Amino acid sequence: QECSVQLLLENILRSDATSTLLGGQLPIHVINNSQYISPLTASAEVKKTYVGDNLPSLDDAIHTALSDNIKTVMVVGPAGSGKTTALTKLVVGWAKGEHLQNFSYVFHFCLRELNSLDEMFSLETFLSHRHGHFTPEILSLALQEPEKLLFVFDELDQYKHSLDPAVHTLCTDLSQVASEPCLVASLLHGTLLKGATILVATTPTGHLEFLNGTRVEVLGFLKPQRKAYFEEFFTDPASANSALINMERTLGFYNFCTSPRFCWTVCSIYKSLVDAGESLPETLTQMFVSIMVHLIRALSLTEARSRDLVAALGRMASHCCLEQHSSCTKEEMYSFGFQQFLTSQTSVDVFLRVEGDLESDAGAFSFHSQLMQEFSLALSFFMDKSPCQSVKEMLEKHEGRAKFLDLYLAGLSEPTQRRPLEILLGEFNSDRILDFKQWLKSSSQKTLKDFYKDRQLHFFHLLHQCHNPSLVKEIITPSARIGISYGGLGLQDCVALNYVTVCLGEMEQLNLYSTKDFMEEEAESLVPAMALSEKIILSQSSLRTGSIPHLASALRNGRTKELDLSYSHLGDAKLKILCTGLRDCQLLTVCKLTEACCGDLASVLTSQNSQLHVLDLMFNDLGDQGFMQLCQALRSPYCKLQDLELHTCDLTAGSMEALSATLCSGQSELREINLTQNAIGDRGMELLSKSLQHPRCKLQCLNLYDSQLTGGCCAGLSEALKSEHWSLLELDLSVNELGQEGVLLLCEALSRPGCPIEKLGLTRCELTYSVFKELGSLLRGGTSRLKSLSVSLNSVGDQGAKHLWDAIAHPHCLLEVLEVEMLQLTDACVGDLCAAVSASKTLRSLDLRNNLLTNASVPALVQLMEDSHNIYNDFGEDVFEMLDSCSKIRY
């Protein structure tokens, strides 16, 4: 057995193959050169909430699964993610006695190599055929103890035979002779050698639906692993850091950058560019231009033969895309024009992967990666001198089958990016270049007029790939910069959106509404765009803690004046970080805060450089103690706050004394405050009333909607209204139980000559017929400045409302807006209503919604509205056509 294991080890470690730039470094070379860095893995549940910490490596995940006596382990990840290298390392480690010694025998298979077998075997002869280092005696003994056997199957996705158990008569007897596909299926389904452990590696494939077991998802190289890999590849730390920074900025937002194979390709081409004194690429297209130039130079072909090779690669790429085939036969390769290139293994290996003998007709050929396949297609299209196919036709032909095709076309359409290839291959087809430019401009401009986020983002990707700021400004003119929500962006989308914004130089509004998981990398990539935006909307969003410092940095160094974080559950800890960047912001809307945040907000308000004019804290549990901290800050000579939104902030009368003192201090710049749905009560209103008649109070708008007031507060408020120092222009007392006596006191005060109130809210305040009579008298009296009045949800009916109709018809009435929703109005009042509205010189909006008006009233209202004003109400469907005939009616 020791001899057989040694032969196995020697067989694995001995390889005549060589690494290729596109195919990646051979697994055994990685292991032997001590450059191995294990990719990361995660379960499906972990991937959804991935933060970046404590994810297991692929090696650890496999060892853990095998140690837990799991009989089938499926390692699933994209091509080039390190699966083959990890499995090779595992087998080598077992053979060296380093781990997994609970297994007596390990059988390692590359399933792609089994595709051409058409012989019949027993299991023992099959294993002997594939693993000649095991003697028949050892194999016979091994098969008697299945629980000590480990079968390693690599490249399941390349296996051409079905694993559907319904297709095979699965074997159960070791001596049974069957086809190779039947034996493999029997092993994988556990009917043969029951108790043996199976380890399978594959890209996502349909074969997986027939297998049961523990699934290990390969994430590949994330940022920390890429950093370690670059440091291993480049011996000079400065070169490693420079190369890594370039890759992260240029390519790191693409998913394929998690592939260890792709990282090796990038490092290899970067090193060749650095050694040649050339610049590193700025786009994905430039990266593949450098790769193509490197490979063509390596072949030392003439310009003519190089063009022939590119044309053949393009035809092959188109075939693979359209037919959805990953490989081509030798006959197909001849039809693409590869005859002159299939005579040398080296020239083919440079671009393609060869399965089987190059000289055999049974060989198969495929691209090393989908990326290179689509780049070859784009390149050959621009190299083709024939005029027969337009860009639009070519893209439509390959639509849904080539993900990066138009991105490559965008990059290659720019002279600076394609120039290195034109030096080697000759000039591109200028007509096709021009055709693409025209298609890009017309399609982009058309898409910008639509409100489809995904379409707009796709063209942002194309513009990013072009890497031409002048082109961005030409396409996205000021009139085309429409508002659209870009919430829920992936990292690639963030990079594209940021590029476009930076090229434009400014953004009126960056709408990231309803971003469900704003992560650190996404926020970091958007810092320049956020810094260039006058307004940032992140309402109803979920922000990771790591994203907040980047948002703060953008605010601190940018031109943002408004930040909307309403309904985003920011929390105190995140606000504390955000406060470091709020000095120049003029409007802030935040949510899910408590008393603990008020000290940080107070610090912002009292900063010498604070520009915060509007602070929206609605629906935050600040409490009285927290609000009193803000009141203290409002007295600072540096505080510029003018508008404070405190809707539902758990305030009581206990904090109104602090607010009153602030308003009377003469140091507060506060002009508007909203105390909606706080338990202010009559005691709190009494304290506020005293400050409202103070000569130093500058408040102009006070909202006390649903603040637990009663008629008991109206005497003090009435006295304040009579004061010559009263400064309020807007007062909302809606949804409070003020009652008849209380509001009559207010009406008396409102009739004072010079009373400045222009907007008054008395919705659902238990108003009566007598109150409406007094309001009508007030409006006709010639002293009232009221322009907006809301008395909705007070059931006074037609008789009460008649006083308002008489008032608005009077020449002394200044009302512009009147809301009378749910007053129990009927069709009987419509005659008086229409006469009053026709007579009014000022009324422009009348809200009649949810009254008892019927369809019979519609003709009169439509006739009225044809002449002047806006009326709101709910009517039956059979009169909609008549209502629609008058554009001024909204219903």
Per-residue pLDDT tens over the stretch 482-524: 667 888 899 999 999 999 999 999 888 999 999 999 999 999 9
Over range 36-64, report the average pLDDT.
75
pLDDT at 135 over 80: no
Residue 48 in this model has a pLDDT that exceeds 50: no
Looking at residue 354, its pLDDT comes to 86
Residue 677 buriedness (CB in 10 A; 0-12 / 13-18 / 19+):
buried
* % of residues, the chain, pLDDT over 90: 73
Angle between helices 284-299 and 415-425 (to 10 degrees): 10
Say whether pLDDT at 375 is over 80.
yes
pLDDT at 873: 46
Residues 186-202 have a mean pLDDT of 95
What pLDDT does residue 147 have? 94
Question: Looking at the predicted structure, is the pLDDT value of residue 439 above 70?
Answer: yes
pLDDT greater than 80 at residue 344 = no
**How far is 854 from 851, CA to CA, in rounded Å?**
9
pLDDT tens sequence across 279-290: 999 999 999 999
Q: At what angle do helices 830-839 and 858-865 cross, to 10 degrees?
A: 0
Question: What is the share, in percent, of the chain residues with pLDDT greater than 70?
Answer: 92
Residue 883's pLDDT is what? 60
The CA angle 411-416-418, to the nearest 5 degrees, is 55
For 750-789, how does the pLDDT look when each residue is reduced to its tens digit (9 = 90+)? 999 989 999 999 999 999 999 999 999 999 999 999 999 9
Pairing of strands 214-220, 120-121: unpaired
d(CA 274, CA 267) in angstroms, rounded, equals 10
Q: How is residue 356 written in tokens?
A: 């089987």
pLDDT in tens, 846-869: 999 999 999 999 899 888 877 664
pLDDT (tens digit per residue) in 703-751: 999 999 999 999 999 999 999 999 999 999 999 999 999 999 999 999 9
pLDDT for position 543: 94
pLDDT at 327: 87
E-strand ranges in 704-807 read 730-732, 759-761, 788-790
More confident residue, 118 or 423: 423
Rounded to whole angstroms, how far apart are CA atoms 540 and 512?
9
Average pLDDT of the segment spanning 836-845: 92
Total residues belonging to the chain:
891
pLDDT for 345 beyond 80: no
Angle between helices 415-425 and 405-412 (to 10 degrees): 80
Is residue 119 within 8 Å of 177, Cβ to Cβ? no
**CA 263 vs CA 25, 232, 239, 252, 888: distances in Å:** 10, 12, 15, 10, 63
* Domains within the chain, CATH numbers bracketed: 2-220 (3.40.50.300), 223-280 (no CATH), 286-457 (no CATH), 767-778+787-805+816-891 (3.80.10.10)
pLDDT at residue 562 greater than cutoff 60: yes
Whether pLDDT at 875 is above 70: no
pLDDT given at position 879: 58
Read off the pLDDT of each residue in 657-668 and give the average, rounded to a whole number: 95
> pTM for the whole thing?
0.85
Hey, which of 34-48, 375-389, 482-496, 643-657 has the most confident mean pLDDT? 643-657
Q: Which of 303, 459, 415, 310 is nearest to 373 (CA)?
A: 310
Three-state DSSP state, 393: helix
Q: What is the pLDDT of residues 564-586, one digit of tens each?
A: 999 998 999 999 999 999 877 88
10 HSE (CA, 13 A, CB side): 9
pLDDT at 2: 62
- Give the integer Cα–Cα distance in Å for 644 and 660: 14
More confident position, 590 or 404 = 404
- CA of 108: how far to CAs of 28, 39, 126, 199, 414, in Å? 14, 21, 13, 9, 48
* Strand 364-367 versus strand 507-511 pairing type: unpaired
pLDDT of residue 364: 85
The predicted pLDDT at position 872 comes to: 46
Q: Give strand pairing partners of 759.
A: 730, 788
**Is pLDDT of 812 > 90?**
yes
Mean pLDDT rounded to a whole number for the chain: 90
Alpha-carbon Rg for the chain, nearest whole angstrom, is 38
Q: Looking at residue 882, what is its pLDDT?
A: 63
Mean pLDDT of 166-185: 93
Residues 6+ apart with CB under 8 A from 823: 791, 792, 793, 794, 795, 796, 797, 800, 801, 851
- DSSP result, 234-290: -SSHHHHHHHHHHHHHHTTTSGGGG-HHHHHHHHHHHHHHHHTTPPPPSSHHHHHHH
- Tell me what pLDDT residue 874 has: 46
Residue 856 has a CB neighbour count (10 Å cut-off) of 10
539, two tokens: 């309402």
Residue 871: what are its φ and ψ, rounded to 5°?
A: -125, 140
Could you give the C-alpha distances from 631 to 542, 589, 667, in angstroms and in order?
Answer: 29, 18, 11
